Amino acid sequence: MLLASIQGVVTPHTLRHTAITDMAETGALVRTMQDFSGHETIEMVMRYIHARHRHVDEAMDRFENERTKVEHLNPSKRESS
């Protein structure tokens, strides 16, 4: 939750941050978020993205699980690396 929202102040700016952050958490592409937000550059969109720890942890868990599956399916590739 954004600090401004906690303090009870909701502005278009805080709504924009929240909307873009929520889109990022769904796995939306940065280009899609750029189209949605109307920003001219991807760099500006990146300023609005706020990763929440839970979603980072979930993404890392998915990454680790997928990597582990590949390693178990192809043990010879792991050994030759």
Q: What is the pLDDT of residues 4-59, one digit of tens each?
A: 445 677 888 888 888 888 888 888 888 999 999 898 998 888 877 766 667 777 87
Would you state the pLDDT for residue 14?
82
3-class secondary structure, 3: helix
The ranges assigned to domains in the chain are 1-50, 52-81
Would you state the pLDDT for residue 5?
46
* Amino acid of residue 78: R
- Residue 46 or 72, more confident: 46
Taking the alpha carbons of 63, 32, 55, 17 in that order, is the dihedral positive or negative?
Answer: positive
Closest among 23, 16, 77, 13 to 55, alpha carbons compared: 23
Would you state the pLDDT for residue 64?
82
Instruction: Record the pTM.
Output: 0.51
